[in-house]
Amino acid sequence: MTLSLGSLTYASAIREAHPDAHHISDQFHLVKNLTDAITQCSYVAKNTEKLSKKSWLELKK
C-alpha cells in the first residue's frame, strides 16, 4: 500500500515500481482534485452554452 500527496510523477513511479500495490491519496488532495475537476467541467459547460447561444443568434439573422 502506498500513499501519495497528489504528485502524478510520484504516483507514476510507484505504479511502475510496484504495479500490484494499492494506491491511496490523502483526503486533502482527493477533495482538491474533485474541486478542480468540478470547476473545469462547469467552465466548459458555461462556455459551451455561450457558444450555443451565439451560434443560434447568428443563425436567426
User: For the segment 24-38, what is each residue's pLDDT rounded down to a tens digit?
Assistant: 777 887 888 889 999
Q: Where are the domains of the chain?
A: 25-61
**DSSP states of 5-49 as a string?**
-S-HHHHHHHHHH-TTSPEEE-HHHHHHHHHHHHHHHHHHHHHHH
Is 29 within 8 Å of 4 (Cβ atoms)? yes
- The reported pTM is 0.47
Is 8 within 8 Å of 25 (Cβ atoms)? no
- Determine the average pLDDT of the residues in 37-42: 88
